[in-house]
Structure formats: structure tokens, C-alpha cells
Chain A
Amino acid sequence: MKELSLNILDIAENSVRAGAKLTSIAINEDDEVIKVTISDDGCGMTEEVLRNVTDPFCTTRTTRKVGLGIPLLKLAAEQTGGEVTIVSRHESEYPDTHGTTTSATFFKNHIDMTPLGDINATVVTLIQCNPHIDFLFTHQFGGKTVSLDTRELREVLGDVPLNTLEVIMWIKENLNEQYNGE
């Protein structure tokens, strides 16, 4: 992956496929570390799936949908001295609190740090392709917070789908303004 934002898109797609209603993407940056946390209220993973999830060669039929996404994220984090941790509660054991949280830390001054890239495009793509579910995006850096919550937009939009072109353009510009404004 050329950009971290592509890894984030890929991992968030796992949440979509897990049937999540709400997927949160949080990026917290300080001078040294970027922490990316993707958490969802999807079906979660059983302990057995979770054990194998970072092994690219252990994709049996039941774990096939996991594939290379997490190994690639792990590689991107570990090559900077960081790490990936995954906590998951499967719906069979946790009927009310199921879901998965994937956290990755990156040491951003490391020479092998992958640039974050176009995170706006990732957020917009997720909403474009999954207008029926919600995303909460927050990015904290340098004393600033950029955020977008599709639940708030949905409240305003009523029956108008989130992936209506005008709405997608509004989201894109809103994020651009938050990043580039004072």
C-alpha cells in the first residue's frame, strides 16, 4: 500500500463486511506517534479467527475474507517500530457488545513510515459505497481536530441518501475546509 489511508480504507471495509452499523476511524497524532484506531459494532471474530488473522498464509475458507489486509497494516506499522493490536468480541458470545477494534501505532519519523496520504478520499469513498451505514471520523493533530459524523448528516438529510452526488461533494469540501481552515 502506498498510503496509510489505503490501509485504513481496507480495514474499514472489513467492518462493513462484518455488518457494522457504525464504524469509527480515529487518528491521533503527536510529534512522534500516529495511532490509528478502527472500531466497529459488527459481528466480531471468534478467538480462533482472531488468532489467525495476522497470518497471511492461514486464510482457510472461514477466514478468507480477512486475507492480506491486516498483514499489510501490520507490516506498515512494524516497519516503523510500531505495532497492531486487535480486540474482538464475537456475537455468539457477546450478543450485545460485539465488534472489533483494530489499533495500529506508527513512529512517524522513522524512515520507513508510509505517508498518511489522502485520508479524505478514504472517508468519502467509504460513505459513497456504504450509504446505509454510519461512519465517525476524527483526526487529531497539532492541537486541531477534524471530524465528521454521518449520523449528524443523516439527521439533516432525512431520506436523501448520503451518496447523493451533492452530498458527497459537500462532505469532501467540508473535510477540505476543516483541514485547510484556521
Chain B
Amino acid sequence: MKSLAELAAIRDKMKDKVVIREGSQGIRVVVGMATCGIAAGARPVLNTFVEEVAKAGLSDKASVTQTGCIGICQYEPVVEIYEDGKDKVTYVKMTPEKAAEVVEKHLKGGKVIADYTYKA
């Protein structure tokens, strides 16, 4: 059973790291989680981002969070990537598979996957 003692051990391990994360200029992965996003499959996309960011060892560099309706409901699930000094990148019609690819190529490799982005 996952016990509170284990949680306390996590706390002790993370204490030093928290300071580093708050001070760093990170990448923000923002998933649209309004009704439109949720109905279109945003939840597994968000969870995949969380897991893949961790697997890629980017937990200290990138954070995964949510926003409401971005206004392009027909393109949901929509994911926006914010990085300091760079233009915002908007990925549309996302899937868990595409999310894993974005972590690998974009967040880790620094290369935007143009095929998945929103073209106005």
C-alpha cells in the first residue's frame, strides 16, 4: 500500500529540488480543458504530457497545466507551448501519440512539429 510514510520520503527528497524549479525559466505546456477539450480527449493528452515529460527527464524544465476554452473548439484537443523568447506554438487535434512525439521532438529536441500546428 502506498503509505503516507512514502509520501513523507518523497517530500524529503524533493525539498531541495523545489527551489530550483521555482527559480528556473521553464517551458509551459498548456492543455485546453474546457468542455470542448475534455469531450475531444484532452484528459489522456494532458496525462501523456505529464508522463512523457518525466520520462524525458524534463520535469525540472517543463510544466504541464491547463486552461479553459481557447476558442477553436473544432480543433480540440488544443495544446499551447510557451517558451521564453520564442513564439507560442499551438498544436491542434492532439492525441496521446502526438503528445509523446511533441515531447520528444519539440520539448527535448527543440524542433516544432509543423504538421500538428494550427494554421489560421
For A164, give its contact among B8, B14, B44 (CB under 8 Å): B14
Kindly state whether residue B89 has any CB partner on chain A within 8 Å. no
Would you give the 0/1 interface string for B15-47, flagging 1 where the beta carbon is closer than 8 Å to chain A?
100100000000000000111101100011011
Least Cβ–Cβ distance between B55 and chain A, in angstroms: 10
For B38, give its contact among A10, A157, A164 (CB under 8 Å): A10
For B11, give its contact among A122, A128, A160, A165 (CB under 8 Å): A160
For B2, give its contact among A122, A157, A173 (CB under 8 Å): A173
Judge whether B44 and A153 touch: CB under 8 Å: no
Q: Hey, which chain B residues are within 8 Å of A158, CB to CB?
A: 11
Kindly state whether residue B117 has any CB partner on chain A within 8 Å. no
With known contacts A9-B38, A69-B35, A160–B43 Cβ distance under 8 A: no
Interface residues of A, CB < 8 Å — how many?
36
User: Interface residues of B: mostly helix, strand, loop or mixed?
Assistant: helix
In the complex, the chain B residue whose C-beta lies closest to that of A161 is B18
User: Interface residues of A: mostly helix, strand, loop or mixed?
Assistant: helix
Q: Which of B60-68, B78-86, B98-106, B108-116 contacts A (4 or more CB under 8 A)?
A: B60-68
With known contacts A164-B14, A167-B10, A177-B2, A1–B39 Cβ distance under 8 A: yes
Judge whether B46 and A128 touch: CB under 8 Å: yes
Complex: A12 Cα to B38 Cα, angstroms:
12
Kindly state whether residue A146 has any CB partner on chain B within 8 Å. no
Kindly state whether residue A68 has any CB partner on chain B within 8 Å. yes
With known contacts A6-B39, A166-B14, A177-B2, A156–B7 Cβ distance under 8 A: yes
Judge whether B6 and A177 touch: CB under 8 Å: no
In the complex, the chain B residue whose C-beta lies closest to that of A153 is B7
For A160, give its contact among B10, B33, B46, B66 (CB under 8 Å): B10
Judge whether B10 and A164 touch: CB under 8 Å: yes
With known contacts A128-B50, A129-B46, A165-B50, A10–B2 Cβ distance under 8 A: no
With known contacts A10-B38, A67-B35, A160–B47 Cβ distance under 8 A: no
Binding site for A on B (CB under 8 A): 1-2, 4, 6-8, 10-11, 13-15, 18, 33-36, 38-39, 43-44, 46-47, 50, 53-54, 59, 64-66, 68-69
Contacts A/B (CB < 8 Å), 30 sampled: A1-B39, A9-B33, A10-B34, A67-B34, A67-B35, A68-B35, A69-B35, A121-B43, A124-B47, A125-B33, A125-B46, A128-B46, A128-B64, A129-B33, A129-B65, A153-B4, A156-B8, A156-B11, A157-B11, A158-B11, A160-B10, A160-B14, A160-B15, A165-B53, A165-B59, A166-B10, A168-B50, A170-B6, A170-B10, A174-B1
